[in-house]
């Protein structure tokens, strides 16, 4: 493993922990640590923080306590002294469609801040962070980038399919089918009872699997960490190896910013596009890049997306589940194909101490006859499904997720709703029909606050059979499980005077993915007149974490970061 310190051979693997435990002055610190299990020899070892996101409140994280213990064992076996600590998680799937969803994106910041706080306070020399749900994955990566101490991210793994290959999105869409009278009460109950069979993150190429894949492509995870089932020996072994590997990183002086280069982020964007990944990947990669002090913008997704095709036929818009992709080899063969096509930067360093190209050199291609990952000459879409749009409705940008199955252009009349609940109720009640553009506003980072995901309304649209007949735009965001003609992250948001806040029901809206545009057919003079009459809404709350978040959060176009 290559030495990465400024002067080879001089990197101190205990540069942080020795400030806490060495010398007479730190005798009280050692006394405290003896009570939690430290022995004499442990004070001479690099200390490795193991950040666990275990919680018994969601399938995504319910097994991570056991995985964290495997990482502890790996770090100890490699000559480190592991110290286990916990941070929070919240469940998007449980809070979706409710006021609690406002806390989802906020939790990303809380997780990053809490990991930084513990690692900084305790003087850990290295870090393994284990995440399993949508926001603790980027939250862990943001902390890793910010701290810049030797670190590895471990993905908790995907859930196994439910009965009849069901998953959580099957449930949301069954609710829409129930409203459309195509799903009976008994059928809906059966879907509810059988869709989620046990531990692991949501089973399609939704946000958790998208972000795990992106972080592996960044080089922050060991190869294949993103493509293992939560309940598997492979995932147990992955955690043990991560504990061992981080001790090697500490001894070699390889830190995250040796890995998190601009080219590494380009690799992550490329892999997310090829997999047909979540729009949330845009938001989170911008935020991680900010913490790594790498300049990344929305326009980088457009630039890269012009040459990278969508190759994986995975849910939500495709056929296959993450478990089925794992069965044919995961994302490593895909990365090898992308590298051979000149679409990945093979020279980028990874947490193995080797480059991307070196890690992929022995990887076998997918088995003959598989249909999950398409060849380059028969892509699902010849360029990116993540389309950044600009126009008078989104001068700072918006992000659409369009595979082409929904069409690439939509014009229709606006049906405007302030908040997700009103829109979902209208869709379920049959008040939205073909040709409508559903506008959901006051859901941005500030206005929500917290930029809620719109899986309930998009699931209702799909369940009512309107997926190819209706568009939906919002200053909020989408679950990775959302599909259809959807545009989110509209900036500036309504709460900050953005044009989406000036719309009225009946306005004509045109979205064109080929021109990368989103516009309302109103003159500049009319928009200016409406702007003068606009008044901000009262804040959702003036107290607590949501109020603090609303006061400090940036635009979605910059990753909804807090500083």
Residue 17, CA distances (Å) to 82, 119, 460 in order: 12, 10, 52
The full DSSP string for 187-248 is HHHHHHHHS--SSSB-SSSSHHHHHHHHHHHHT-S-TTTTSSBSSSHHHHHHHHHHHHHHHH
Q: Which residues contact 273 (CB under 8 A, 6 or more apart)?
A: 304, 305, 308, 309, 310, 384, 385, 386
- Which of 150, 106, 113, 157 shows the shortest CA–CA distance to 131? 157
Structure tokens at 434: 């073909």
Q: CA torsion sign, 501 to 94 to 483 to 390?
A: positive
List, by residue number, the catalytic residues: 479
At 286, list the tokens: 């911008």
Enumerate residues 6+ apart whose C-beta is below 8 A from 35.
Answer: none
* Beta carbons of 89 and 82 less than 8 angstroms apart: no
User: 27-59 b/e with 16+ CB inside 10 Å = b?
Assistant: eebbeebeeeebeeebbebbbbbbbbbbbeebb
Q: Among 133, 170, 121, which Cα is nearest to 19's?
A: 121
């Amino acid at each position: 493993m290559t030495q990465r310190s400024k002067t080879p051979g001089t990197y101190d693997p205990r540069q942080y922990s020795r400030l806490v435990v060495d010398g007479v002055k730190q005798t009280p610190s050692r006394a405290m640590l003896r009570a939690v299990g430290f022995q004499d020899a442990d004070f001479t070892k690099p200390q490795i923080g193991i950040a666990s996101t275990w919680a018994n409140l969601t399938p995504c994280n319910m097994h991570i306590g056991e995985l964290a213990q495997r990482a502890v064992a790996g770090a100890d076996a490699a000559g480190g002294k592991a110290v286990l600590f916990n941070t929070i998680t919240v469940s998007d799937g449980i809070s979706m469609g409710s006021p609690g969803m406002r806390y989802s994106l906020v939790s990303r910041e809380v997780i990053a801040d809490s990991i930084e706080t513990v690692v900084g306070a305790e003087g850990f020399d290295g870090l393994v962070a284990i995440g399993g749900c949508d926001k603790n994955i980027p939250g862990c990566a943001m902390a890793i980038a910010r701290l810049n101490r030797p670190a590895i991210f471990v993905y908790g793994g995907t859930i196994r399919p439910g009965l009849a290959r069901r998953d959580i999105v099957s449930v949301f869409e069954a609710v829409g089918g129930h409203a459309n009278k195509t799903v009976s009460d008994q059928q809906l109950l059966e879907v509810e009872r059988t869709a989620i069979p046990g531990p692991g993150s949501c089973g399609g190429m939704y946000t958790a699997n998208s972000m795990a894949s992106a972080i592996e492509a960044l080089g922050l995870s060991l190869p294949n960490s993103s493509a293992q089932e939560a309940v598997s020996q492979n995932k147990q072994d992955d955690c043990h190896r991560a504990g061992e590997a981080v001790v090697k990183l500490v001894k070699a002086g390889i830190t995250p910013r040796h890995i998190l280069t601009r080219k590494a982020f380009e690799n992550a964007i490329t892999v997310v596009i090829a997999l047909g990944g979540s729009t949330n990947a845009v938001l989170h990669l911008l935020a991680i890049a900010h913490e790594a002090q790498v300049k990344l913008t929305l326009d980088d997704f457009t630039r890269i997306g012009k040459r990278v095709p969508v190759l994986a036929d995975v849910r939500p818009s495709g056929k296959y589940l993450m478990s089925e992709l794992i069965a044919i080899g995961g994302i490593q063969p895909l990365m090898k194909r992308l590298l051979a096509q000149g679409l990945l930067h093979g020279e980028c360093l990874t947490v193995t101490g080797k480059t991307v190209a070196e890690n992929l050199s022995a990887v076998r291609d997918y088995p003959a006859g598989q249909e999950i990952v398409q060849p380059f000459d028969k892509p699902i879409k010849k360029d990116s499904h993540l389309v950044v749009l600009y126009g008078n409705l989104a001068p700072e940008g918006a992000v659409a997720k369009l595979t082409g199955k929904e069409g690439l252009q939509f014009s229709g009349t606006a049906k405007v709703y302030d908040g997700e609940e009103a829109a979902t109720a209208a869709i379920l009640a049959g008040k939205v029909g073909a040709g409508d553009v559903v506008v959901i506003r006051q859901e941005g980072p500030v206005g929500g606050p917290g930029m809620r995901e719109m899986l309930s309304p998009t699931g209702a649209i799909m369940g009512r059979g309107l997926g190819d007949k209706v568009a939906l735009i919002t200053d909020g965001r989408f679950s990775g499980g959302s599909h259809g003609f959807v545009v989110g992250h509209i900036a500036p948001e309504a709460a900050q005077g953005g044009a989406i806040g000036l719309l009225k029901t009946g306005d004509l809206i045109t979205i064109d993915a080929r021109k990368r545009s989103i516009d309302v057919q109103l003159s500049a003079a009319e928009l200016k007149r409406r702007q003068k009459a606009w008044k901000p809404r009262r804040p959702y709350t003036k107290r607590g974490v949501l109020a603090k978040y609303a006061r400090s959060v940036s635009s979605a176009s910059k990753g909804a970061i807090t500083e």
